[in-house]
C-alpha cells in the first residue's frame, strides 16, 4: 500500500484528489492539509511514501516546505501540483528537491500515471514544464560540462532523466538493458558528486551540462 500525504489549500481540489487516490487499489491518503506550516512534523509522524505538494499556500510556500523536508528525508517522492508553469517556479521546485511537477489542470487525466512513473524512478512533468526544462538546458552558454568528464551516452541519459523518463523508458529509448541504465546513472552520480536523481537533474539545469 502506497501511503500518500497531501498539502493543498483548495478545499474542493484537496477533497476530490483524496477521493480519486483512495479509489485506486494500492493507494491510501493518510492525511490531507490546507497548508504546509507543519509539513515537516507531519512527514516525520506519518512517514508517507509520496507527497503531493501545492506551491502557493497561506503562510508558507510548498517550495520552502520541500526544502525543509529534504533536510531530513531525501527519499520520499514529492510531486508539485500547481497552476504555475513559469520558469522560476519550475527551477525553484526542482532545485528544492521535487521529484516531479504537474499542472493542476492535468490532475484528472495525468495524476495516477505520474505517481506510478515517479514510483518507477521517473520524474513526471506536464508537457509545458518539460519543454521549459529542455529549453533551459539548451539555451545559453554551457559551463562545466567537460569538467565532469561525462561520456556522450551519460549526457544522453542525464538529458532523458531530466525530461522525466523512468529507467524503463530510458532503456527502451537507447535499446539497452535496465541494468545498463542503472550502471550509467551510478557513474553519473559519482561524476557529478550527487546522490539522487533530483540532485543530478538540479545540477544539470543550474550548470547547463548539455
DSSP string, 18-43: HHHHHTSTTEEEEEEES--TTHHHHH
Report helix, strand or coil for 164.
Answer: coil
Q: Is the predicted pLDDT of residue 138 greater than 60, yes or no?
A: no
pLDDT of residue 77: 93
Residue 188 cell numbers, joined: 553519473
d(CA 134, CA 80) in angstroms, rounded, equals 18
Quote the mean pLDDT of the chain. Answer: 86
Share of the chain above pLDDT 70, in %: 87
pLDDT of residue 96: 83
List residues bridging with 5 in a β-sheet.
31, 51
d(CA 207, CA 202) in angstroms, rounded, equals 9
The residues, any chain, with a CB within 8 Å of residue 2's CB and separated by 6 or more, are 26, 27, 28, 49, 50, 115, 119
pLDDT of residue 83: 83
- Judged by average pLDDT, the poorest of 27-31, 47-51, 122-126 is 122-126
Residue 82 pLDDT level (bands cut at 50, 70, 90) = confident
The per-residue pLDDT for range 39-51, each reduced to its tens digit, is: 999 999 999 999 9
The residues, any chain, with a CB within 8 Å of residue 173's CB and separated by 6 or more, are 160, 165
Question: How far is residue 47 CA from its own chain's centroid?
Answer: 18
Q: Residue 188: how many CA atoms within 13 Å on its side-chain side?
A: 28
d(CA 183, CA 78) in angstroms, rounded, equals 25
Q: Biggest alpha carbon distance in the chain?
A: 49
pLDDT of residue 193: 85
Q: What domains are defined for the chain?
A: 2-133 (3.40.50.2300), 141-207 (1.10.10.10)
d(CA 60, CA 80) in angstroms, rounded, equals 14
The answer to whether 102 touches 55, Cβ cutoff 8 Å, is no
Amino acid at each position: 500500500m502506497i501511503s500518500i500525504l497531501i498539502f493543498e489549500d483548495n478545499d474542493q481540489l484537496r477533497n476530490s484528489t483524496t477521493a480519486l487516490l483512495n479509489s485506486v487499489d494500492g493507494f491510501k491518503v493518510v492525511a490531507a492539509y490546507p497548508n504546509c506550516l507543519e509539513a515537516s512534523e507531519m512527514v516525520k509522524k506519518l512517514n508517507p511514501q509520496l507527497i503531493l505538494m501545492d506551491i502557493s499556500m497561506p503562510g508558507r510556500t510548498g517550495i520552502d516546505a520541500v526544502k525543509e523536508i529534504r533536510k531530513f528525508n531525501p527519499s520520499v517522492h514529492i510531486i508539485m501540483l500547481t497552476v504555475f508553469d513559469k520558469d522560476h517556479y519550475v527551477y525553484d521546485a526542482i532545485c528544492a528537491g521535487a521529484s516531479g511537477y504537474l499542472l493542476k489542470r492535468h490532475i484528472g487525466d495525468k495524476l495516477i500515471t505520474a505517481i506510478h512513473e515517479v514510483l518507477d524512478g521517473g520524474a513526471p512533468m506536464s508537457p509545458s514544464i518539460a519543454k521549459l526544462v529542455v529549453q533551459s538546458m539548451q539555451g545559453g552558454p554551457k559551463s562545466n560540462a567537460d569538467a565532469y568528464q561525462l561520456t556522450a551516452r551519460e549526457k544522453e541519459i542525464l538529458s532523458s532523466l531530466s525530461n522525466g523518463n523512468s529507467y524503463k523508458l530510458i532503456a527502451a529509448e537507447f535499446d539497452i538493458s535496465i541494468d545498463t541504465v542503472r550502471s550509467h546513472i551510478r557513474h553519473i552520480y559519482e561524476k557529478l558528486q550527487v546522490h539522487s536523481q533530483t540532485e543530478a537533474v538540479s545540477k544539470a539545469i543550474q550548470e547547463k551540462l548539455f
